[in-house]
Amino acid sequence: MRLWLRNEIDIIAELIQNLEKSILGQAELHSNSLMAGLTHLQTAQPITFGHHMMAYHDMFARDYDRLLELRKRVNCLPLGSAALAGTSFKIDREFVADKLGFEKVIDNSLDAVSDRDFILEFLNFSAILMIHISRLSEEIIMWASDNFGYIDIPDEFCTGSSIMPQKKNPDVAELARGKTGRAIGNLVNILVLMKSQPLAYNKDNQEDKEPIFDSVQTVKDTLDIFSAMLSSIKVNKANLKKPLEQSYTTATDLADYLVAKQTTFREAHEIVSKIVTFAEKENILLRDIPLKTFEKFSEKIEEDVFEILDCEGSVNSRNHVGGTSPDQVLNAVKRQN
């Protein structure tokens, strides 16, 4: 089991790297493609599509690190432990470990026979990885819908409807989201299997094979097709930007502007809230409010306010490590190459 899983881990590690490359390609291509960042699924602040994609890259980078860490604990030699007490034959376990590529031998023969932690760790990794894929799948499904229209998924990753000829359903993303339940279920399965077992071998452990085999195959299949789909999606920049042109996403920038002019944030928040309420009643955007009107809300608002009310200006102002400015997105991409 350990030899097999070690080999599968190496395959999966490469597949994760392929997925990361697909994400990096989209992030670099759309480092300056403006979109609305959401909180609570409500329009919040301007960001870029590239910045959004890099958030997922960092999730999968953690998954990759997690996988390599657990590989160390998978790559331990149990051979020579026999049923539970070791063997009376003169063996050299370190020699065998070296020849089979194991990093170490398991010190205690009873622990070696009883241990299924390495399976649990892999299943935990699989569940977390699939949750990350599921979250991205959910957004891809939304973005591809008529209500958003942010992206177009190539036909080979979609199917039509059996009844409605105009439909194009994002099947790969939906199936990836659905298969996450299998990965989580397999983890819970083995957790429950192991929870009350006494030490050494028990026949219960016959049941540990199917969940690990299933999760390994599910992860490999999902990563393989998901990478191909992600690298081939097309982004509609006009639709991506449209919510920014219909909302008040630079309100936070306006509050920050007032704070920079020695207004407390509480007071700035209250002032901007009143300005947004006014703009909503007048059915205009913040950038369309005349300076004289702004001055009625605060004497600290001056002509330079219009620089920060522009969505591009808002994004560009967040030019620090981890920020959403195009320069920082490109820097983040370069750090990974």
Tokens at 69, concatenated: 């860490």
Catalytic site residue from 145, 161, 273, 320: 161
Helix (H) or strand (E) holding 2: helix 2-29
**Alpha-carbon distances, residue 181 vs 121, 134, 190, 194 (angstroms):** 17, 10, 14, 20
Catalytic site residue from 40, 88, 162, 196: 40
Q: What is the 3-state secondary structure (H, E, C) of 183-215?
A: HHHHHHHHHHHHCCCCCCCCHHHHHHHHHHHHH
Q: Is 161 a catalytic residue?
A: yes
Nearest residue to 286 via CA among 257, 251, 311, 316:
251
Instruction: State how far the Cα of 332 lies from the Cα of 27, in Å rounded to an integer.
Output: 9
Catalytically annotated residues: 40, 161
